[in-house]
Amino acid sequence: MPRIVPSPWRNMKTCRNAFLMAAASMLASPAADAQQAVYLVRHADRLDDSADTALSAAGEARAASLAALLRDAGITAIYTSEYRRTINTAQPLAAALKLTPVTVPARDLNALVKRVKESSGKDVVLIVGHDKTVPDILKSFGYPGEVRIGSAEYDKLFVLVPSGSGAPVVLRLRY
């Protein structure tokens, strides 16, 4: 009787992680292999509409899901805004990777983009932003496409892979 060996692809988390890593590495052109990949997400679900709200229970679960998804993605740096909701979204992944997130004020997108671009060319970065800042960050990295994030959308994940001489490649995913 033939022996059945379980496939590692049966584990959905393994499959998603492998897809993300493979997509990012395949999309990088040879001229861009010294540049970073940038993962961008909006913060997870808000507890309320106050200015510096915490995450809701659903947001905490989403942050844990993001950590599980990106744990093996090679993240070497994490950037957040000064708001608790972005810091708390990044926290589970930062703890798992033993990284200290860098806080850059939400109103200073130019400083954020400059800092990421000037970081080690081999960094793989996670940026946790807001519904209004994530599209602007993508544009600052040269992405020409239109990106809109609705006020109730917390599940979009963008994977930006710089191209050596043109617009970056951007994958739009949900988690």
pLDDT in tens, 60-98: 999 999 999 999 999 999 999 999 999 999 999 999 999
pTM for the whole structure: 0.82
The per-residue pLDDT for 7 is: 44
* CA–CA distance, 82 with 102 (Å, rounded to integer): 9
Q: Measured in whole angstroms, how far is the alpha carbon of residue 76 from the centre of its chain?
A: 12
Tokens for 45?
């679900």
Q: How far apart, in whole angstroms, are the C-alpha atoms of residue 42 and residue 61? A: 14
- Split at pLDDT 50, 70, 90, the class of 36 is confident
Its CATH architecture, for the domain 33-174, is 3-Layer(aba) Sandwich (3.40)
